[in-house]
Structure 1
Amino acid sequence: MKILLLARYAALGASSRVRFYQYLPFLRANGIHLDVAPLFDDDYLRALYAGNKPSLTSVARAYFSRLTALLRLAHYDLIWLETQLFPWLPARFENFLPRPYVADYDDAVFHRYDQHSSRVVRAVLGKSIDSVMRHARIVIAGNDYLAARARQARAVQVEILPSVVDGLRYQPAVAPPQGNFTLGWIGSPVTAPFLTLVKPALEEARKQAGVQITLVGGSLPGLEAVTVPWSESGEISAIQGFHVGIMPLPDAPFERGKCGYKLIQYMACGLPVIASPVGVNRQIIRHGETGFLAESHAEWLDAILTLKNSPALRQKMGRAGRLRFEAEYSLQVTAPRLLALLQQAAQI
């Protein structure tokens, strides 16, 4: 079977790396011929993360490259598509593709259009993702929120496949990290502003209890923290240096569609977690068993100090989180299921 993967980003893009690229070795080892044609290259993301607006020339070049890839569709049995062919354009091409496609979603991208401040954007693009979902042979959603939208759009078949990490690569540290109790966060400059939600609790914990805050891949102005540049080769060791992993998140439509990737990374490394009770976070975390769900300032501060003051509880929660990861959120669990779904889509 030959599949053309139309990812949104090259390897630097977390969504493409997690939802697609990490599966490629397994799929190829099981007889799938895969060609990859990302829409945007790593330079596009580097500019975005640096706070620079990508040039119209770079976007036009990306769209032309995507059009060129579509000319090769006759050579494939199936298209594996990340969200849509052309962001910010009406979904027309998807309706007339000569090959079936599987569409994958790990974010509520539809809310970029149907919640947009512009009435024109809402009118023209508000239902574009629904159209892509409706014409897909299978929609693969990262959580219930995204799956519900696909069903509402009358998708033919909807399957939930969580965002995961490789359980062979991600392992708990051999020994707990030494030094100050460290509260850690990993992400990107795009998601770093979410830390504003818990900034007062983090500052209070730092001042009153000597908690060290480490941020990997982003920073927050005014928050005293150790900042570490993100790299794919260094992210696991960085997380292993945390005592607890955190994931603050606002309760808003777009954020309800997130797939809890940070939590999966932390739990894979045997860490207890603290997160906002938003969207899939409620499913991933077993409150009081693998970590804490915290909403108010008092709840966040209490969760931080409780875990700081009890190494035994951290160890117990970390072990429980790792077991939950191994059972439901590891690549070893989801890869065979993804393979079966792609094979099914190509054979219908």
Structure 2
Amino acid sequence: MKLVFWTIGNARTASTRLRVHQYLPLLQQDGIAVECHEIPKGFLQRKVLRLKLPKAGHLFVQKKLFGPRTVSDLRRHCTRLVFDVDDAIYVDGEGSQRNQTRFAQITRAADSVLAGNPTLAKATADPKKATVLPTPVDTDVFSPGPWSDRDPNCVAWIGSRTNLKNLDLFFPAFEQHRKQFPKTHLVVMADRAPEPCPDGVRFEPWDPESEKALLKRATLGIMPLYDTPFTRGKCGFKILLYQAAGLPVLASPVGVNPSLVLGGHELANDSEGWVQGLARAFETPDDLRARGEAGREKVHRESSLTALYPKFRDLIT
């Protein structure tokens, strides 16, 4: 059997790296041949790639919304079409239904849809064909170090420039918290620094090794998130990443987040909730360690690469 993957990016693109490339070595170990192509932006390049599709093959398309002609061609060229989605890509701008229409077309044409959370699964044209499959975290790569090595004043946020705006929900509470705990600092690890960068906020450029080092150094991981139709489709990977590294979490109760954290004490509904959550974390350091250990157990059991791979393999083959 040969599986062909069409992805939205390469191995450095977060979604592609986590939802496709992590699985490829495991598929090959199981004797399954794989071929991976980044979807070109140009129409002609996409047409050439489409013509190279092996007939009677299995095709995995990662969250790319094509026009109806391309969807029809893909359906004719493969015996099994799998569509993967981990964002609310069906959300359109004001006055437009283009994305919603195309999302319905490809999820209707697919034999199976892998959805990163229940919200995305329900949004498909035929939810009966959709299976919820969280974004896996490799708990062998991301593992806790000794708690004694952590900086008791370090809070971590890891993400991309497109999500930096969500930190605006956190900054007022962080400023208030620092009046009582002035040594507390936030490390923002991304591909761009937040602008402006408030007092107590340190920027570190993202790279794989720096990410692992920060997760072993920090004491708390945060995921503030505005509540919008698009963010309700987020899959909460930041939370899973923090938990894998043994970090306790404080997050906005948006989308899938409440089902990922350990309970209401790890959620912040508003600015006052963030203030209280930070105070609780830094006033009870022993509780932080216990929360980190419990989160690690939860993510290893429910969302680790080891736990999810058999289900992924069975759904796409």
What amino acid is the match of 2:46? Answer: R
- Indicate the larger mover: 100-109 or 203-212: 203-212
1:190 to 162, 170, 174: 162
Tell me whether 1:263 sits opposite 2:239 in the alignment. yes
Residue 214 of structure 1 corresponds to which residue in structure 2? 187
- CA offset digits 1:289-320 (Å, max 9, x no partner): xx511111111111111111211100110011
**Structure 1 residues 292 and 125 mapped into 2: Cα distance closer, same or farther (>3 Å)?**
closer
Tell me whether 1:341 sits opposite 2:315 in the alignment. yes
What amino acid is the match of 1:308? Answer: F
How far off is 1:132 after superposition? 0.4
How far off is 1:235 after superposition? 1.3
What amino acid is the match of 2:277? Answer: A
| Alpha-carbon contact 2:152-2:219 (below 8 Å) kept | no
Residue 230 of structure 1 corresponds to which residue in structure 2? 206
2:68 to 91, 95, 119: 91
SS in 2 for 1:92: helix
How far off is 1:171 after superposition? 0.3
How far off is 1:76 after superposition? 6.0
Residue 144 of structure 1 corresponds to which residue in structure 2? 118
Matches within 5 A, 1:269-284: 269-284=245-260
- CA offset digits 1:49-77 (Å, max 9, x no partner): xxxxxxxxxx43xx433322211112562
**Structure 1 residues 240 and 91 mapped into 2: Cα distance closer, same or farther (>3 Å)?**
farther
Residue 313 of structure 1 corresponds to which residue in structure 2? 287
- 2: CA distance between counterparts of 1:66 and 1:96? 12
How far off is 1:178 after superposition? 4.5
| Alpha-carbon contact 2:63-2:85 (below 8 Å) kept | yes
- CA offset digits 1:151-181 (Å, max 9, x no partner): xx12561111001211111101123344451
- 2: CA distance between counterparts of 1:298 and 1:236? 31
2:49 to 69, 74, 87: 69
1:82 to 48, 62, 76: 62
Residue 7 of structure 1 corresponds to which residue in structure 2? 7
Matches within 5 A, 1:96-245: 96-97=73-74, 98-99=77-78, 100-111=80-91, 113=92, 116-117=93-94, 119=95, 121-122=96-97, 124-150=98-124, 153-154=125-126, 157-210=129-182, 211-217=184-190, 218-222=192-196, 223-224=198-199, 225-245=201-221
| Alpha-carbon contact 2:156-2:220 (below 8 Å) kept | yes
Residue 16 of structure 1 corresponds to which residue in structure 2? 16
Structure 1 length as normaliser, TM-score?
A: 0.85
- CA offset digits 1:248-303 (Å, max 9, x no partner): 00111000000000000000000110000001001101215xx5111111111111
- 2: CA distance between counterparts of 1:101 and 1:341? 11
Gaps of 5+ in 2: none
| Alpha-carbon contact 2:115-2:121 (below 8 Å) kept | yes
SS in 2 for 1:19: helix
| Alpha-carbon contact 1:170-1:265 (below 8 Å) kept | yes
Residue 55 of structure 1 corresponds to which residue in structure 2? none
- 1: CA distance between counterparts of 2:56 and 2:177? 55
Q: Spell out structure 1 runs of 4+ moving beyond 3 A.
A: 175-180
What amino acid is the match of 1:129? Answer: F
- CA offset digits 1:219-251 (Å, max 9, x no partner): 322323111110123311122111000000011
- 1: CA distance between counterparts of 2:56 and 2:283? 57
**Structure 1 residues 125 and 301 mapped into 2: Cα distance closer, same or farther (>3 Å)?**
closer
| Alpha-carbon contact 2:65-2:102 (below 8 Å) kept | no
Structure 2 length as normaliser, TM-score?
A: 0.93
| Alpha-carbon contact 1:177-1:242 (below 8 Å) kept | no
How far off is 1:183 after superposition? 1.1
- 2: CA distance between counterparts of 1:70 and 1:105? 20
- 1: CA distance between counterparts of 2:14 and 2:59? 20
Tell me whether 1:38 sits opposite 2:38 in the alignment. yes
Between the two proteins, the alignment pairs up a number of residues equal to: 310
Residue 27 of structure 2 corresponds to which residue in structure 1? 27
What amino acid is the match of 2:47? Answer: L
- CA offset digits 1:190-232 (Å, max 9, x no partner): 1111101111001112233121111111432232311111012
How far off is 1:125 after superposition? 4.1
**Structure 1 residues 202 and 29 mapped into 2: Cα distance closer, same or farther (>3 Å)?**
same
SS in 2 for 1:253: coil
What amino acid is the match of 1:95? Answer: S
1:252 to 219, 228, 244: 228
